[in-house]
A and B are shown apart, each in its own frame.
Chain A
Amino acid sequence: MKQYKIAIILLLSGTLLTSLNACQKGEIPNLNTPIAGDIVKSASREQLMNLAVGMESGMRLTLNTYYDAFGLLGREIYRFSASEPRYTGELMRGQLDNNTFYTTNPWTSRYRIVRQANILIDAATNSAAITDPQKKGYLGFARTVIAYELLLNLNMTYTNGIRTDVKDPDHLGPFKGYPESLTDIANLLDQAKTDLTGSEVIFPLSPGFAGFNTPAGLLKFNRALAARVAVYRQQWASALAALNESFFDLNGSFSLGIFHVYSANSGDQLNLLFLPQNNPGENRLAHPSYAADIAAGDDRIQKATLRTTAVTIDGLTSNRDVWVYRSNVDPVPIIRNEELILIYAEAKIQLTQLPDAIVALNRIRTSHGLAPYAGAVTQPALTTEMLTQRRYSLFTEGHRWVDMRRYNRLNQLPNDRTGDNVPDKFPIPLTESN
């Protein structure tokens, strides 16, 4: 009996022992997500589409931080948060840290999309599942997006520059200065233009690209961005040339353009630039100068609605909420016709074709309930007028600080407290030196 029991136990344990190495075998794959390396080697049609969708989707990451920081530096907004002192501290005082969220998060997100675009380019180039025109469609879109993402980062670091060549993560290109980087961005847009010409677009684009989700449409988007880059480069004639190939329409809707769209669907994002009116706690408020400086009758005052009570934090007070986005699924513009009209006006002013510029400025003024321009018809006066119109038309869209910098007018931006200061650029993130 005893031996019988021992035999059974031994048999059981013997089985267990052998099963230790036998019951499970092999590598455990990633159970949660696709792996980049596999897709780059041999992507299917669907996987390429997923990459394109992921790229468009990812373009929205941490944009709220970017726009808030630009709004603060451009003295367009106040951002009050009980738990984040740096909105009213460092960002208003102009001592920008090279290793904190407002510097690193947007910068990293933009380069993440550049990486995604490079992966998409590699995957599309290697894929046997698509035709050459289809490849060109992917490449053209991906390069346009790279150019846009690089431009946003260059807006941050300005003369500190950016890396424009980041294709190989192990051998990054050097930091290039502001003009050189802008040149690279312009060239990239031109290259994308070549790609898009004669291409076929098979990937889905969100409703934010409604009207622009064809090769011709993407080309117009590309040229609109090229026009913005051209005015940054003070190449006024090329700006006008680019506008001609874009969706610029002097009499068209201001909101014609390309947008980031949002939804509460799974895996999608909400528009974090939205805060309800009179929200307690977290506040995104109009800088008092917005209402103080606005011309009477300007309907753009609706972008900064009166609160029931003013809010004060850290010596800063405002009684108006930013009311540009009115729900957490409102779209955020990438580029839209109102900016293109102002780019047109700017180029014309700089080319001293002042009557043309006035036509464009009046198109903006009258549409917003103002009388036609009646000021001096001089280049400086019209420049000031153009910057004012940009300030109100593109409020909180990330332009004010950049515009004042372009025209060396950062010193005209108000400082509310002693010690406040408007810097002209963000530092390069600390970890770039790694």
Chain B
Amino acid sequence: MYQIKQLTLLLLLLCSAFVAAAQQKVTGRVTDASGNGIPGVTVRIQQSTHGAITDANGRFSVEASNGSVLIFSFTGYKTQQLTVSGNTINVTMQEDYANLDEVVITGLATSVKRSNLANAVATISAKELYGVAPAQTFDAALSGKIPGALITANSGAPGGGISVKMRGVTSVFGNSQPLYVVDGIFISNVSIPAGLNIITAAASAGNPQNQDNPSSRVADINPDDIENIEILKGASAAAIYGAKAAAGVIIITTKKGSSSGKTTVRFRQDVGVNVARKLLGMRHFTEETALDYGGAAAKAQFIAARDAGKLYDYEKELYGEKGLLLNTGVSVSGGDERTGVYFSANRKAEDGIIKNTGYLNNALRLNVDHKISDRITAGLRMTYINSSADRGLTNNDNNSVTYGVSLASTPEFIELHPDAFGNYPINPGAANFLETRDKIRNNETVNRVISGGEIKATLHNNNMTNTKLIVRGGIDYFNLKTEAIFPRSLQFMKGGLNGASIQGNTNNLNTNVAAILVNSLEANSKLNFTTSLGATLETGNLDNLIATATNLLPQQTNVDQASASQLQQFRQKYRDNGIFIQEEVLIMDAITAAAGVRFDRSTNNGDYRKYFVLPKAALSWNLAKMPFWNVRSINSFKVRAAYGQAGNVAPYGAKFLALTASNIGGQPGSLVDTQLGNTNIEQEKQTELEAGLDISFFNGRLSLEASYYNKKIFDLLLRRAVAPSTGFAQQWVNGGDLRNRGIEIGINATPVDKKVIRWNIAVNFWKNTSEVTRLTIPAFPLGAFGNTLGNFYIQQGKSATQIIGTLGTGKGIGVLGNAEPDFQMSFYNDVTVLKNLSLRFMIHWKKGGDNINLTQLLSDLSKTSYDYDAMDYGNVKNGVYRVNALVNNDASVRVQDASYVRIREIGLYYNIPIPKNRYISAVNVGASANNWFTFTKYKSYDPESSNFGSNTMSTSTTRGSTGVSTGVEVTPYPASKRAELHLAVTF
């Protein structure tokens, strides 16, 4: 405390030094190559905080002395520097095809020009994120857009649920999902289960992991508010974020108010339709196959149904709804030189492809930036979100109640439709899913406030050096209400639970504060130093309460309207803090060297007082900026390497051996948990080395970015399976090392750039391979339902995502596949004709990567598979063949190639030319299709699926997601595709 006061005093003294010089008024106009004025260009006087912004015609006016340097910068154009001599300066900006001058945030408060960057930092612009074919939620909009990431939709249910794995599996049992930072606020992306296991018993037999598959909370964010996204993929780039950055950091920047003095109002309306991406069809029976299906009774039933014309396509009835999509947004952006305000309101209402499912999101945002004085700026970010998702009842279950499991058990000739009195017939094989669909409710409602602020103060400033203090803080608070209602009249409620109302209430508050001092020193024109020093603190506090009432009164849902109830509560708290220091040196604007170290600790570690030391270093050299460079066609040639370390804190509660509640006879009891705590548990430590080559040809018309990385995770947090006769099933240990190696290649080109037509293309290729390099505990299976159905298997010397299974009776166990793709590619194209008509599309190709297809298994077993009677395996029916495989303990038929080529997004937009008027400045119309075309041989609804979710929270009584179980499919909510029409009017 004493030292900090001293420091403050010193800084105060430093600040009193002011500079003064003879000022004059300098005016001018900034234009593009064709002479049109560019509004919004930042004009800054070098080594000062003074400046201006160009107006609607590209004009500016600024007080500057002769000899001072004006810096003109604007996104998409190369930054230009001009020395003031006289009162007028006109500038023609050059387009920055390769985004070399784009500024990329590399530290908590520092940024680097892309041409000097030492890492491959992927950026997603607003246009790429949400301007082609808008996805339902923010997380879904990331699909295919991050080179180096495997992004998988866990479920097609409204409200999303997306797994993002950057550069392979980062952790098996620890957090494997990236940190999301919105305008400096660390937001929560937890998935909180709704307590459905009492209905589905999904976690009661083959796999104890929770299978409620809730949505991820990052889905709440309104994607239309996002200006751009930067992705730090691994420790080499993200080390400064410390123990939260192991799985990468997704830095989201929302839109700011413009400072041009003009207020822009934008109205947006989207209307569309949502349909199933693929329906498989039903098995069509004949008298013969009906006899085989269920004997004479079934045959008679089939004949009666056929003759009455009552063979039903239940799959289409269940999953074939056309959901209406409506999205309305208004945004206001305005301000002046001192204050910028951005306000938006958005309402999205979407119906699902299953009746009574859908998504609603209402979001408000207010971003205010204000320059308090020449030295102090303040920014405020505030958003309120109300979202509601009706998700239906899908995925695995052991009570034959979910839509998919019931559908798989139902042949086309069973009558399930209600009679004239509304009575639903009993489905003999499982629940009557039409009744279930019509009567239940499984809703997640979120009310969320994300708010934060930042103050930047220039403490001291002269023509060589300046020191800034940045203080930033934020909160993310949400209340999640889950409500699952199963009325007592349901077929599967009668005589058993007699109705259930499961009400979950979660309050979560995350806070983060950071204070950073940044000193820039320009020793001479060829040598710049940037020093940062800072401290951060993040806290989290979650309180989850689930009340389950059974034997419910008819029509009632309140938990007291029932004769029996169960309560569960789970709380978690953490406090992480870190101190870091970082030095960046820029030599001749060509060589960048950076080094830093972060000291990090967390209350989730065994010893909460112990600091972990996480260093980083980076070097890049842009040869094209050197005096000797004389290859004119290559305007940037950069070699780069970066190294960094990050941690991954132990999951909450890993330290303890808990006694869980277990009561009987009305008495309270404590029962030892099956998870043995470990008081010595430590963070996982990750080191990542990344090296790359970035080349830009022909003035940036063609650029190449190639990276290689080697990411090693040490002291993997593992739940070691202990001999169960200890009474424990698992113990937390730091038990192994994991390595991910891969390459990422990106090519960006503008092959045509004419006034008539302009074509921009970006092609990305990425590939990752993982290996468990050390395992101090025995190899262990996880992530699915046992070896006879295919399972993941963590084994030394093998890929972390290998899938093993039984090879046939007596043949033991072998490798059947791997969830990791061989490679992925994406192709983004943007063709603009006559500046006004624009076609954009993105194709995503995932080659390889296997799924465990258990949807097929369940329909095979119930003899209802759509391809049951086909003969793909020789002289035997598919269904018979695959069931025989199970009988013979051959798991290989369930492990299936989940490759696909998908036109993720395609959109056609047109700026309607309108005569100049006082009210409307632009009208844009468009049509788009999202995930409309998929080419795959995978034999189920969609290659993207995960029964276990990706970041489902563990509680005292349930186990959450693991880092590897992506791709296990058990009768999911089928994925959907979207087609929309768009209208945007700017006032």
Question: Could you list which residues of chain A lie within 8 angstroms of chain B, going by C-beta atoms?
Answer: 1-3, 5-7, 9-14, 16-24, 27-28, 30-37, 39, 47, 49-58, 60, 65, 81-86, 89-90, 93, 95, 97, 99-101, 104-105, 107-108, 111-116, 118-119, 162-163, 166, 169, 172, 204-208, 261, 263-269, 274-282, 309-314, 317, 328, 419, 429, 431-434
Q: How far is the CA of A54 from the CA of B372 in the complex (A)?
A: 62
The residue that B724 contacts in the complex, of A82, A281, A429, with Cβ under 8 A, is A429
User: In the complex, are the beta carbons of A55 and B671 less than 8 A apart?
Assistant: yes
In the complex, chain B residues whose CB is within 8 Å of the CB of A22:
1
User: In the complex, are the beta carbons of B206 and A111 less than 8 A apart?
Assistant: no
Q: How far is the CA of A85 from the CA of B668 in the complex (A)?
A: 37
User: In the complex, are the beta carbons of A82 and B405 less than 8 A apart?
Assistant: yes
16 A-B pairs (CB sep. < 8 Å): A36-B672, A53-B663, A60-B664, A84-B206, A99-B787, A101-B206, A105-B205, A166-B726, A261-B664, A265-B663, A266-B566, A276-B495, A431-B721, A431-B780, A434-B777, A434-B778
User: In the complex, are the beta carbons of A7 and B12 less than 8 A apart?
Assistant: yes
CB distance from B892 to the nearest CB of A (A): 16
Given contacts A6-B12, A53-B670, A263-B664, 7 further A-B contacts (CB under 8 A): A5-B372, A82-B400, A114-B725, A264-B551, A281-B431, A317-B295, A433-B778
CB distance from B411 to the nearest CB of A (A): 12
User: In the complex, are the beta carbons of A84 and B887 less than 8 A apart?
Assistant: no
Known: A100-B206, A281-B429. A17 touches B603 (CB 8 A): no
CB distance from A102 to the nearest CB of B (A): 8
Known: A5-B376, A280-B491. A207 touches B665 (CB 8 A): yes
Point out which of A56, A82, A281 has the most chain B C-beta atoms below 10 A from its C-beta: A82
Closest chain A residue, CB of each to CB of B672: A116
Question: Could you list which residues of chain B lie within 8 angstroms of chain A, going by C-beta atoms?
Answer: 1, 4-5, 8, 11-12, 15-16, 205-206, 294-295, 297, 372-376, 396-401, 405-406, 408-409, 426-432, 455, 457, 459, 469, 471, 473, 491-492, 494-497, 513, 515, 535-537, 539, 550-551, 563-567, 569-575, 577, 603, 608, 653, 655-674, 676, 720-729, 777-778, 780-781, 785-788, 809, 857-858, 861-862, 886-887, 889, 956, 970
User: In the complex, are the beta carbons of A264 and B669 less than 8 A apart?
Assistant: no
The residue that B205 contacts in the complex, of A101, A263, A280, A313, with Cβ under 8 A, is A101
Q: How far is the CA of A77 from the CA of B449 in the complex (A)?
A: 55
In the complex, chain B residues whose CB is within 8 Å of the CB of A434:
720-723, 777-778
User: In the complex, are the beta carbons of A204 and B294 less than 8 A apart?
Assistant: no
Q: How far is the CA of A207 from the CA of B786 in the complex (A)?
A: 38
User: In the complex, are the beta carbons of A10 and B469 less than 8 A apart?
Assistant: yes
User: In the complex, are the beta carbons of A21 and B669 less than 8 A apart?
Assistant: no
User: In the complex, are the beta carbons of B455 and A13 less than 8 A apart?
Assistant: yes
User: In the complex, are the beta carbons of A309 and B205 less than 8 A apart?
Assistant: no
Q: How far is the CA of A172 from the CA of B455 in the complex (A)?
A: 60
Known: A17-B515, A32-B571, A276-B494. A311 touches B428 (CB 8 A): yes
In the complex, chain B residues whose CB is within 8 Å of the CB of A35:
656-659
User: In the complex, are the beta carbons of A115 and B727 less than 8 A apart?
Assistant: yes
The residue that B671 contacts in the complex, of A20, A54, A208, with Cβ under 8 A, is A54
User: In the complex, are the beta carbons of B662 and A54 less than 8 A apart?
Assistant: yes
The residue that B575 contacts in the complex, of A7, A28, A47, with Cβ under 8 A, is A28
User: In the complex, are the beta carbons of B660 and A33 less than 8 A apart?
Assistant: yes
Q: How far is the CA of A99 from the CA of B570 in the complex (A)?
A: 30
Q: How far is the CA of A14 from the CA of B8 in the complex (A)?
A: 7
The residue that A206 contacts in the complex, of B496, B551, B665, with Cβ under 8 A, is B665
Can you list the 7 inter-chain pairs with the closest CB atoms, starting with the nearest? A115-B727, A206-B665, A264-B564, A276-B495, A53-B669, A281-B400, A54-B669
Known: A3-B16, A280-B431. A17 touches B727 (CB 8 A): no
User: In the complex, are the beta carbons of B726 and A27 less than 8 A apart?
Assistant: no
Known: A99-B781, A280-B429, A434-B722. A9 touches B457 (CB 8 A): yes
Q: How far is the CA of A274 from the CA of B653 in the complex (A)?
A: 35
The residue that A265 contacts in the complex, of B469, B574, B666, B720, with Cβ under 8 A, is B666
In the complex, chain A residues whose CB is within 8 Å of the CB of B657:
35-37
Q: How far is the CA of A19 from the CA of B535 in the complex (A)?
A: 11
Q: How far is the CA of A264 from the CA of B858 in the complex (A)?
A: 31
User: In the complex, are the beta carbons of B400 and A2 less than 8 A apart?
Assistant: no
Known: A115-B672, A162-B725. A32 touches B777 (CB 8 A): no
User: In the complex, are the beta carbons of A6 and B726 less than 8 A apart?
Assistant: no
Closest chain A residue, CB of each to CB of B544: A32
CB distance from B741 to the nearest CB of A (A): 30
Q: How far is the CA of A32 from the CA of B550 in the complex (A)?
A: 24
Closest chain A residue, CB of each to CB of B18: A2
User: In the complex, are the beta carbons of B426 and A34 less than 8 A apart?
Assistant: no
CB distance from A158 to the nearest CB of B (A): 16
Known: A9-B376, A115-B726, A281-B492. A57 touches B671 (CB 8 A): yes
User: In the complex, are the beta carbons of A36 and B430 less than 8 A apart?
Assistant: no
User: In the complex, are the beta carbons of B399 and A281 less than 8 A apart?
Assistant: yes
User: In the complex, are the beta carbons of A20 and B537 less than 8 A apart?
Assistant: yes
User: In the complex, are the beta carbons of A101 and B778 less than 8 A apart?
Assistant: no
Q: How far is the CA of A14 from the CA of B492 in the complex (A)?
A: 62
The residue that A27 contacts in the complex, of B429, B608, B970, with Cβ under 8 A, is B608
Q: How far is the CA of A36 from the CA of B16 in the complex (A)?
A: 60
In the complex, chain B residues whose CB is within 8 Å of the CB of A274:
496
User: In the complex, are the beta carbons of B670 and A34 less than 8 A apart?
Assistant: yes
Closest chain A residue, CB of each to CB of B607: A27
Q: How far is the CA of A434 from the CA of B665 in the complex (A)?
A: 37
User: In the complex, are the beta carbons of A32 and B956 less than 8 A apart?
Assistant: yes
Q: How far is the CA of A83 from the CA of B211 in the complex (A)?
A: 14
Q: How far is the CA of A90 from the CA of B16 in the complex (A)?
A: 82
The residue that B862 contacts in the complex, of A82, A263, A429, A432, with Cβ under 8 A, is A82
Q: How far is the CA of A95 from the CA of B535 in the complex (A)?
A: 59
User: In the complex, are the beta carbons of B8 and A10 less than 8 A apart?
Assistant: yes
In the complex, chain A residues whose CB is within 8 Å of the CB of B665:
53, 56, 204-208, 261, 263
In the complex, chain A residues whose CB is within 8 Å of the CB of B788:
86, 90, 97, 100
CB distance from B402 to the nearest CB of A (A): 8
User: In the complex, are the beta carbons of A9 and B455 less than 8 A apart?
Assistant: yes
Known: A2-B374, A280-B491. A266 touches B858 (CB 8 A): no
Q: How far is the CA of A100 from the CA of B473 in the complex (A)?
A: 48
User: In the complex, are the beta carbons of B399 and A56 less than 8 A apart?
Assistant: no
User: In the complex, are the beta carbons of A50 and B669 less than 8 A apart?
Assistant: yes
In the complex, chain A residues whose CB is within 8 Å of the CB of B473:
16
Q: How far is the CA of A60 from the CA of B495 in the complex (A)?
A: 21
In the complex, chain A residues whose CB is within 8 Å of the CB of B399:
281-282
In the complex, chain B residues whose CB is within 8 Å of the CB of A263:
564, 664-666
In the complex, chain A residues whose CB is within 8 Å of the CB of B660:
33
User: In the complex, are the beta carbons of A24 and B724 less than 8 A apart?
Assistant: no
In the complex, chain B residues whose CB is within 8 Å of the CB of A16:
471, 473, 513, 515
User: In the complex, are the beta carbons of A54 and B726 less than 8 A apart?
Assistant: no
CB distance from B782 to the nearest CB of A (A): 11
User: In the complex, are the beta carbons of B662 and A267 less than 8 A apart?
Assistant: yes
User: In the complex, are the beta carbons of B574 and A82 less than 8 A apart?
Assistant: no
In the complex, chain B residues whose CB is within 8 Å of the CB of A85:
857, 861, 886
Known: A82-B858, A266-B566. A431 touches B724 (CB 8 A): yes
Q: How far is the CA of A17 from the CA of B514 in the complex (A)?
A: 8
In the complex, chain B residues whose CB is within 8 Å of the CB of A309:
297, 428
In the complex, chain A residues whose CB is within 8 Å of the CB of B427:
280-281
In the complex, chain B residues whose CB is within 8 Å of the CB of A267:
566-567, 661-663, 668-669
User: In the complex, are the beta carbons of B4 and A14 less than 8 A apart?
Assistant: yes
In the complex, chain A residues whose CB is within 8 Å of the CB of B566:
264-268
Q: How far is the CA of A328 from the CA of B495 in the complex (A)?
A: 9
CB distance from B940 to the nearest CB of A (A): 15
Known: A37-B657, A85-B886. A28 touches B565 (CB 8 A): no
In the complex, chain A residues whose CB is within 8 Å of the CB of B861:
82, 85, 313-314
User: In the complex, are the beta carbons of B669 and A33 less than 8 A apart?
Assistant: no
Q: How far is the CA of A164 from the CA of B539 in the complex (A)?
A: 46
In the complex, chain B residues whose CB is within 8 Å of the CB of A114:
725, 727
User: In the complex, are the beta carbons of B469 and A281 less than 8 A apart?
Assistant: no
Q: How far is the CA of A112 from the CA of B671 in the complex (A)?
A: 9
Closest chain A residue, CB of each to CB of B562: A264
Closest chain B residue, CB of each to CB of A432: B723
User: In the complex, are the beta carbons of A81 and B659 less than 8 A apart?
Assistant: no
